[in-house]
Every structure is written in structure tokens, then in C-alpha cells.
Amino acid sequence: MTLSLGHIRLIAMARAFRSNGIRHGVMAGIISGLAGLVFAYLAGVLAIGFTSRDIFATLLAAATVLPLMLIIVFTLPSVLIGVLIGLLLGAVSNFSRHHVGLVAGAIIGLLCGEAVLSFVVPLILRPQSGDFISIISNRYLSAGYGLFLGLLTSSIFQRINRPDTKL
């Protein structure tokens, strides 16, 4: 049996593949997905406060409706986007000689945010006019949130995936 140059390259890539990058990427994605929920909560409280201009209505929504909506509807997509970004960052870092930077995380996050929030979530949960699903499936908001999660995941991944970090 003779091995071609393509087989030798494939074997070399398989030997060079490390699962640490992918594992660190998934961990960074979970952390950033949960941190993104906190960011979404704070942004939601500010948006309610600016639109209603009533402190009691804002406090009531911040204590009751908004946390339930984020937990029930937004937790799974947020963590899914974070894990997808981390998984892709980890896979890219395994096959690259250079460190994966913030720009790569931002681009991956933008694409994952658009894909999940603008296409997958509206297929599962039908948006109605003015409800939470129609708000988060807005292309600009989903791109902005994906960009934020991409930057956050990439920065956490860079800290976790350093050679001197032991987990």
C-alpha cells in the first residue's frame, strides 16, 4: 500500500490536532453566553426605562417580566451562539499557526448571531408584531448582539487558551 502526499498531509493534520483549543473555545462560549444574558438584561432595563420614563414600571418590569423572558426565551439561543463561536474559534486555532484575534471572533459572532437569532429562532417560535421574538430577530439587533458575543468569546478564549494557562 502506498501513501500519497494527500494522505501524508491528512495524517500530519490529525496528529497536530489538539482538542484543547476546542474545549477551551466551548468553555469560553458558555461563559460569554451567560455574560451576554447579563448584558441583555441591563440593556433591556435601560430600554424600558427610557421608553416608559416611569421608575416604578421600570423596576416592576426589571423584577418580573424581563428576567422570565430572558430565562425562558433567550438563554438557549445565547448560549448556543456562544458555544458555536467558541467551537469555531477553537477549530480555527487548531489549524492556524497564529493566534485567533478579536476580528475573527467578531466576524464569526456576527455570522452566528445572524444565523441563530434571525433565522433559527423565528422558525421555532413565530414572531408576532411587537413581541420579544420580533425584537430579537431584528437583523441589526441580532448582528450587534452576535458581534458583542464574538468579541467577548474571543477575548475570553485568548485568556483561556494561552500556553501558560492550566485548566
Cβ-in-10-Å burial (0-12, 13-18, 19+) of 133 comes to middle
Q: What is the 3-state secondary structure (H, E, C) of the chain?
A: CCCCHHHHHHHHHHHHCCHHHHHHHHHHHHHHHHHHHHHHHHHHHHHHHHHHCCHHHHHHHHHCHHHHHHHHHHHHHHHHHHHHHHHHHHHHHHCCCCCCCHHHHHHHHHHHHHHHHHHHHHHHCCCCCCCHHHHHCCHHHHHHHHHHHHHHHHHHHHHHCCCCCCC
What's the pLDDT at 150? Answer: 93
Mean pLDDT of 104-130: 89
| pLDDT tens, residue by residue, 17-58 | 556 778 888 899 999 999 999 998 999 899 999 999 999 999
Domain ranges for the chain, please list them. 18-160
| pLDDT at residue 16 in the model | 53
- Interhelix angle 55-63/19-52, rounded to 10 degrees, is 150
Average pLDDT over the chain reads: 84
pLDDT value of position 46 = 93
> How big is the chain, counted in residues?
167
Measured CA angle at 53 (ends 49, 57), to 5 deg? 65
- Range with lowest mean pLDDT among 44-48, 83-87, 131-135: 131-135
pLDDT of residue 11: 61
pLDDT at 140: 92
* Of 80 and 94, more confident: 80
User: Is residue 138 predicted with pLDDT exceeding 80?
Assistant: yes
The predicted model gives 98-114 an average pLDDT of 86
| Contact by Cβ (8 Å): 152, 106 | no
Confidence tier at 166 by pLDDT (50, 70, 90): low
